[in-house]
Amino acid sequence: MGVFSSDLNMPGMGAPQHFPVKRAAEISLHHRGNGTASVLYQAMANGQVVLVTTEPLGGGAPVRSLYYVAEQDAAKAEAIIAAMMAPNERVEAWGPLPEPAVKALGLKPGDFTRG
């Protein structure tokens, strides 16, 4: 989400280099041409796909709905959706929503939309 920068003295460093670090962040090194380099840290904005299963009060087949949540932690994403659900609705995080999808949906941290 935010980009953080710090300068490193990296004499002789060539073209910009990119080094992935875990899933939560990435580092990009950019040669400045004066014997220093900038290091950019960028947090990932992954989200979660959350399934809501509604058991009809009068019986019948359950109704399933998907929600896309801009929250990387599955338990937190479930809690965001569960806060607005009725007692007959079961909430379950299905899996990660990649950063490009979060951006394409226009979601900000903590936002969600129904699929």
Span 34-57, pLDDT tens digits: 555 444 434 556 999 999 999 998
What number is the average pLDDT over the span 63-82? 97
pTM attached to this predicted model: 0.61
Longest dimension (CA), the chain: 73
Per-domain residue ranges for the chain? 3-43, 47-114
Asked if residue 100 has pLDDT above 90, the reply is: yes
Within 12-88, strands assigned E span: 17-21, 25-31, 36-43, 47-54, 63-69
